[in-house]
Amino acid sequence: MADPVVRRLSLRFEVPEDSRLTIDDIFKSLDEVVDLTDVKCVTQTRRSSYQVTVASLQAKESLMVQGIQLNGRLVQVFSVETDSVVVTIKMPFEMEDGHVTGPLSKCGKVLYVKRLTYKNYPTVETGIHLIKLTEVLPTAVLP
């Protein structure tokens, strides 16, 4: 069996939820610390969380040591310690979580399933389910 994916060039940071930052603000802040040609991927993982993958350990270290400036605030940047993947699936309310966690458990370890709800109607689901996996196998084919 293959070893889980290792993300030695990935970082993460959090921004204040009320900051109203744009992706351009994120790129400008990264560009102040590393050359943007070293930035390979930027993923908004939640409303206020981001992950960045860079091309070299030098770029990663620069971001971790210096942090980034966003709206006049210094934001710390941390190494991503473990690999995780969040799978988004639209499925009917009546479908049990096991219908997707069973097949997905062949790809990695299922940490949780979160059924999204509407902000102003927290008891009403949207039909969107987030499934977080860790220890994702590099040969995994998500169903």
Reported pTM: 0.60
For residue 53, pLDDT beyond 70: yes
Report whether 21 contacts 71 (CB < 8 A): yes
For residue 60, pLDDT beyond 80: yes
Q: How confident is the model at residue 139 (pLDDT cuts 50, 70, 90)?
A: low
Q: What pLDDT does 138 receive?
A: 63
CA neighbor of 137 nearest in space, from 108, 112, 117, 114: 108
What does the pLDDT look like over 61-114, one tens digit per residue? 999 999 999 888 889 998 886 667 778 888 899 999 998 888 888 888 898 899
For residue 141, pLDDT beyond 70: no
* Strand ranges in the chain using DSSP code E only, listed in sequence order: 10-14, 39-46, 49-54, 68-70, 73-75, 78-79, 84-90, 109-118, 121-134
For residue 136, pLDDT beyond 80: no
State mean pLDDT over 5-17.
Answer: 81
